[in-house]
């Protein structure tokens, strides 16, 4: 460390001190801890009796696992993984033929991303439980998860962008979700010297239409100075129609950013009047700019994903739309920007700031009207700090990152460096309470806590460093989430539970807004997959050159057909499996010896396709991978693979065994998982 007084040095030493303090608390009943925790009380508050439901669904981003985790709150029970930007061997998402197109980008098949922010769709500024959006940070993308099926149904790539971090934050009626570039790059991207950053690098803010499922698209992009845009939030209530983005690296450093991007005392919050942007676009002020991006959609009826490649966007430059963008000076390298439920206060989390600055939307409008500008940056007016400031929370702690609200006039901010949640009051800016968390929280989450109507009962701290909180599992540990009761004046720690990957953010919503809409099965009669098999007798095997298509059904407890011959080495085989069950939670799986990908899991009524290239002659068993019934272990079949050019005829039979399975199944009334337990000796 060359400069021992650099912000980074301070930051590092503070982190070290806090980890030491945290370790101390974790193995003692030190005062700071016992004050806030009522242990007996806490256990009953998170207890959800067997067979009972949790009060909230919580959706945690999976960070670098590219997925979403669904938890119940307050129990912390893990309910589901929803794969989004990553392949998932558990279900075959991204491996089977129907879903591969979901992961197409202009860079090719891109089966990984760094997923940061879950965002529930909203109606009038309140989460409504229709959809959940999430961003891919590395190869900028946004995805829609349908909360009827808990499945990724749409992915849109963001062109002219690098690092889709300030994303996918919704406007109050989900007209748009918004994504900004973290990294500035040349736009269009091209081969230039890196040290020409100031001349050539630009940022973009993308407004994406989101209220029509299957039709996400870039409504327009705004071309911005080459800073780093970190996070964003839409205005609401009086500030509806505006969007706010944290903006750092206003130094425009391109090397050693930890030092060189920490020079300016203040960076910015970027305020964008997107209603004005809409008018400017409608009035022809935007230019058609080259763009290259994919839009991938899962078709509801065939359950096959399709990709479309697009080639242009509307690009709006602030200079062609006066009044579109203003900069609000904000200390210092701000990370989160959070709008309170009334829509009046704009709270910034300046990672290196000693205060939490809060801007007033009313004062911002007045400052704009009065031209209270301190300077201009590339034609964009910079407002005076004093002219927009509502107040500063003094001595909040170290390293403020993110703030959410309880709807009762209080705000809660994570302090990354001092490892605590700080509760403070909107309007008076006084600190009301502190809760140590273990350790180093990034985001925090209150159900609806960034909306107009928070359900201010619980708060979850999403901690980055786990250390000694759980049984050790080698160098890499689960992440730690902590559930805190915020219903009273003082915060109460209730529960720790592990999360996987690195959740950056989470959102939660009352279970009642989702659970009644959950789909139980796909209707077989509506399945439009070109290789659907609706009945046992309709299966079969066909050859098209070197491609062999096998249509088969799964039902408790057999495949039909289950004996297949005539496949040759050199063929590419497609198993198109339709689950013809029409009953909730009766899924079947399919795997074949030597398959170089994942199984497929097939929901009732849907068709899924496994591609298989046999390399040697012989007999290849396949079987059902999901323990579906008492006779699951009988659910199997064989493929015969012959030499190239062999005269073995293509045949698809229902074996005597499968036929007798079918008869036994009919003889067993209501064969369900109770039956499975009774007959478990058959394993
Ligand atoms: Cu703070 Cu990506 Cu929202 Cu991580 S981000 S913590
Ligand atoms: Cu079907 Cu096991």
Closest ligand to 627 CA? 2
Question: Which contiguous run of DSSP H or E holds residue 31?
Answer: helix 31-36
Q: Which residues pair with 592 in a beta bridge?
A: 622
Residue 302 CB contacts under 8 Å (≥ 6 apart), including other chains: 527, 528, 529, 530
Q: What is the pLDDT of residue 666?
A: 67
Q: What is the pLDDT of residue 665?
A: 67
Q: Whose CA is nearest to atom 3 of ligand 1?
A: 504
Closest ligand to 444 CA? 1
Nearest ligand 1 atom to the CA of 165 is 2
Ligand 2 centre and the CA of 604: distance in Å?
Answer: 12
- For residue 473, CA distances in Å to 20, 26, 504 come to 21, 18, 21
With CA atoms as reference, report the closest residue to 658 among 528, 554, 565: 554
10 Å CB burial of residue 194 (0-12, 13-18, 19+) is exposed
Lining ligand 2 with CB less than 6 A are 554, 588, 624, 626-628, 632, 635
Q: What is the pLDDT of residue 187?
A: 97
Q: Are 666 and 624 a contacting pair, CB within 8 Å?
A: no
**DSSP assignment of 46-59:** H---TTPPPSEEEE
Question: Which contiguous run of DSSP H or E holds residue 228?
Answer: strand 228-234
Ligand 2 centre and the CA of 86: distance in Å?
Answer: 25
Q: Are 505 and 68 a contacting pair, CB within 8 Å?
A: no
Ligand 1 centre and the CA of 445: distance in Å?
Answer: 12
- Among 232, 402, 460, which is best to mutate for testing ligand 1, by the most ligand atoms less than 8 A from CB? 402
Closest ligand to 637 CA? 2
- Please tell me the distance from the alpha carbon of residue 153 to that of residue 171, in angstroms, as a whole number: 20
- Please tell me the distance from the alpha carbon of residue 126 to that of residue 452, in angstroms, as a whole number: 6
Lining ligand 1 with CB less than 6 A are 116-117, 165, 231, 335, 401-402, 442-443, 504-505
Nearest ligand 2 atom to the CA of 588 is 1
Nearest ligand 1 atom to the CA of 117 is 3
- Among 119, 335, 414, 507, which is best to mutate for testing ligand 1, by the most ligand atoms less than 8 A from CB? 335
Q: Whose CA is nearest to atom 1 of ligand 2?
A: 588
Nearest ligand 1 atom to the CA of 137 is 2
Nearest ligand 2 atom to the CA of 554 is 1
- Please tell me the distance from the alpha carbon of residue 364 to that of residue 352, in angstroms, as a whole number: 24
Nearest ligand 2 atom to the CA of 626 is 2
- The DSSP output letter for 99 is T
- Please tell me the distance from the alpha carbon of residue 683 to that of residue 680, in angstroms, as a whole number: 6
- Please tell me the distance from the alpha carbon of residue 536 to that of residue 552, in angstroms, as a whole number: 8
Q: Whose CA is nearest to atom 4 of ligand 1?
A: 504
Torsion of CA 327, 333, 335, 341, to 10 degrees: -50
**DSSP assignment of 541-602:** EEEETTEEEEEEEEETTEEES-EEEEEETT-EEEEEEEE---STT--EEEEETT-SS--EEE
Closest ligand to 589 CA? 2
Q: Are 237 and 343 a contacting pair, CB within 8 Å?
A: yes
Nearest ligand 1 atom to the CA of 402 is 1
Ligand 2 centre and the CA of 96: distance in Å?
Answer: 18
Ligand 1 centre and the CA of 149: distance in Å?
Answer: 27
Ligand 2 centre and the CA of 30: distance in Å?
Answer: 53
Nearest ligand 1 atom to the CA of 336 is 1
Residue 170 CB contacts under 8 Å (≥ 6 apart), including other chains: 119, 120, 121, 122, 133, 176, 177, 178, 210, 234
- Please tell me the distance from the alpha carbon of residue 369 to that of residue 358, in angstroms, as a whole number: 20
Length of the chain: 683
Three-class SS state of 35: helix
- Please tell me the distance from the alpha carbon of residue 374 to that of residue 387, in angstroms, as a whole number: 10
Closest ligand to 337 CA? 1
Three-class SS state of 366: helix
Q: What is the mean pLDDT of each run of 10 residues along the chain (683 residues)?
A: 40 41 36 48 94 98 97 98 98 98 98 98 98 98 98 98 97 98 96 98 98 98 97 98 97 94 95 98 98 98 98 98 98 96 97 95 98 97 98 97 98 98 98 98 98 98 96 95 98 97 97 98 98 96 98 97 98 98 98 96 98 98 97 96 97 86 65 37 30
Q: With helix as H, strand as E and coil as C, how does 246-315 read? A: EEECCCCCCCCHHHHCCCCCCEEEEEEEHHHHHHHHHCCCCEEEEEEEEEEEECCCCCCEEEEEEEEEEE
Q: Are strands 176-183 and 162-170 parallel, antiparallel or unpaired?
A: antiparallel
Q: Whose CA is nearest to atom 5 of ligand 1?
A: 504
Q: What is the pLDDT of residue 664?
A: 73
Three-class SS state of 30: coil
Ligand 2 centre and the CA of 630: distance in Å?
Answer: 9
Ligand 2 centre and the CA of 147: distance in Å?
Answer: 26
Nearest ligand 1 atom to the CA of 505 is 3
Ligand 1 centre and the CA of 530: distance in Å?
Answer: 42
With CA atoms as reference, report the closest residue to 484 among 172, 24, 46, 54: 46
Closest ligand to 502 CA? 1
Nearest ligand 2 atom to the CA of 623 is 2
Question: Which contiguous run of DSSP H or E holds residue 119?
Answer: strand 115-123
Q: Are 655 and 562 a contacting pair, CB within 8 Å?
A: yes
Closest ligand to 562 CA? 2
- Among 60, 116, 480, which is best to mutate for testing ligand 1, by the most ligand atoms less than 8 A from CB? 116
Q: Is the dihedral of CA 450, 451, 452, 458 positive or negative?
A: negative
Q: Are 334 and 348 a contacting pair, CB within 8 Å?
A: yes
């Amino acid at each position: 460390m060359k400069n021992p007084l650099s912000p980074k040095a301070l930051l590092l030493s503070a982190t070290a001190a806090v980890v030491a303090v945290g370790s101390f608390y974790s193995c003692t009943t030190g005062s700071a801890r016992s004050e806030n925790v009522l242990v007996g009380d806490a256990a009953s508050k998170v207890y959800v009796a067997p067979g009972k439901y949790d009060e909230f669904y919580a959706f945690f981003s999976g960070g670098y696992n590219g997925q979403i985790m669904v938890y119940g709150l307050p129990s912390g029970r893990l309910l589901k993984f929803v794969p989004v930007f990553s392949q998932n061997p558990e279900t075959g998402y991204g491996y089977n033929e129907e879903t591969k197109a979901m992961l197409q980008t202009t860079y090719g098949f891109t089966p990984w991303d760094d997923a940061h922010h879950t965002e529930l769709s909203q109606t009038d500024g309140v989460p409504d439980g229709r959809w959940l959006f999430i961003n891919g940070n590395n190869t900028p993308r946004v995805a829609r998860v349908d909360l009827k099926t808990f499945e990724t149904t749409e992915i849109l790539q963001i062109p002219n962008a690098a690092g889709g971090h300030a994303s996918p934050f919704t406007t109050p009626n989900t007209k748009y979700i918004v994504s900004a570039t973290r990294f500035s790059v040349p736009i269009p991207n091209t081969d230039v010297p890196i040290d020409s950053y100031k001349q050539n690098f630009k940022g973009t803010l993308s407004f994406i239409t989101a209220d029509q499922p299957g039709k996400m698209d870039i409504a327009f992009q705004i071309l911005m100075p080459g800073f780093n845009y970190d996070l964003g939030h839409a205005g609401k209530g009086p500030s509806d129609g505006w969007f706010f983005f944290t903006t750092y690296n206003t130094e425009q450093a391109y090397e050693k950013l930890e030092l060189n991007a920490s020079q300016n005392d203040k960076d910015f919050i970027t305020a964008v009047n997107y209603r004005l942007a809409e008018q400017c676009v409608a009035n022809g002020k935007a230019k058609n700019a080259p763009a290259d991006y994919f839009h991938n959609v899962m078709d509801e009826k065939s359950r096959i994903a399709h990709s479309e490649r697009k080639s242009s966007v509307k690009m709006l430059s602030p200079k062609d739309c006066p009044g579109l963008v203003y900069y609000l000076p904000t200390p210092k390298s701000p990370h989160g920007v959070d709008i309170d439920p009334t829509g009046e206060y704009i709270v910034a989390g300046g990672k290196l700031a000693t205060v939490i600055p809060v801007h007033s939307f009313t004062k911002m409008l007045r400052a704009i009207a009065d031209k209270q500008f301190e300077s201009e940056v590339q034609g964009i007016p910079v407002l005076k700090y004093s002219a927009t400031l509502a107040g500063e929370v003094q001595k909040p702690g170290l390293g403020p990152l993110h703030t959410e609200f309880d709807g009762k006039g209080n705000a809660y901010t994570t302090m990354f460096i001092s490892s605590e949640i700080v509760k403070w009051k909107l309007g008076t800016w006084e600190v009301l309470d502190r809760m140590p968390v273990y350790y180093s929280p990034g985001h925090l989450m209150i159900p609806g806590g960034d909306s107009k109507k928070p359900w201010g009962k619980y708060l979850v701290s999403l901690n980055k460093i786990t250390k000694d909180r759980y049984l050790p599992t080698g160098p890499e540990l689960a992440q730690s989430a902590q559930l805190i009761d915020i219903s009273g004046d003082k915060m109460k720690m209730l529960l720790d539970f592990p999360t996987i990957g690195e959740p950056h953010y989470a959102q939660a919503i009352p279970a009642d807004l989702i659970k009644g809409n959950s789909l139980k099965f796909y209707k077989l009669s509506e399945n439009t997959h070109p290789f659907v098999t609706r009945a046992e007798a309709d299966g079969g095997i066909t050859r098209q050159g070197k491609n062999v298509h096998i249509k088969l059904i799964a039902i408790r407890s057999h495949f039909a057909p289950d004996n297949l011959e005539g496949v040759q080495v050199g063929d590419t085989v497609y198993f198109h499996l339709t689950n013809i069950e029409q009953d909730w939670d009766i899924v079947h799986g399919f795997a074949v010896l030597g398959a170089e990908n994942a199984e497929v899991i097939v929901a009732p009524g849907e068709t899924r396709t496994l591609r298989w290239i046999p390399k040697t002659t012989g007999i290849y068993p396949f079987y059902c991978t999901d323990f579906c019934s008492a006779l699951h272990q009988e659910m199997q079949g064989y493929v015969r693979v012959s030499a190239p050019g062999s005269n073995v005829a293509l045949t698809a039979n229902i074996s005597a065994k499968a036929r007798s399975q079918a008869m036994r199944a009919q003889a067993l009334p209501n064969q369900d998982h109770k039956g499975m337990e009774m007959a478990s000796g058959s394993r």
